[in-house]
Amino acid sequence: MKRVRFALAWLVGLTFITTGILKYIDLDAMSKAIFERANYPKWFFYVVGTVEFVGGIMLLMTASASKKFGSVLIGVVMLGAIGTHFILKDSYTHFVVPGIIFLLAVFSLLDVERKKKGKVE
């Protein structure tokens, strides 16, 4: 189980580092289209990219405070994605991936707390 948690943390972390970078080099066309449909300002696209990048890096760090902060950042971004899809009245299929990643961020946060208390197998 420890390997699965480790692999999921790395998968989510690397994914968010990548999507953050893609926003900065303007290669995330799908997200850009969603931001435009939602009438978000252009600068907000880069703020989200920064939060994704920093959250991904923090999630991969070894310190528990960094992992917690990374989980919170990623969770906030996913709540924003869910809210945006809700406001845009998108199909419920658009809620699946952000919902799963949000749950992974919550589980990661809980896992860090459990490790701090010494309750991990």
For residues 69 and 109, the model is more confident at 69
Domain count, the chain: 1
120 pLDDT band, cuts 50/70/90, is: low
Q: Does the structure show a pLDDT above 90 at 81?
A: yes
- At position 48, the amino acid (one-letter code) is V
In sign, the C-alpha dihedral spanning 59, 82, 1, 3 is negative
Distance between CA atoms of residues 71 and 102, nearest Å: 9
For residue 59, what is the enclosing H or E element?
Answer: helix 42-60
Q: Domain limits at 10?
A: 2-116
Q: 57: buried, middle or exposed (CB in 10 Å: 19+, 13-18, 0-12)?
A: middle
Closest CA to 13 of 88, 121, 117, 101: 101
Task: Quote the radius of gyration of the chain (alpha carbons, Å).
Answer: 15
What is the pLDDT, as a whole number, of residue 119? 57
Q: Does the structure show a pLDDT above 90 at 6?
A: no
Tell me, yes or no, whether 121 lies in a domain. Answer: no
Q: Does the structure show a pLDDT above 90 at 117?
A: no
Kindly report the pTM of this predicted structure: 0.87
Tell me, yes or no, whether 8 lies in a domain. Answer: yes
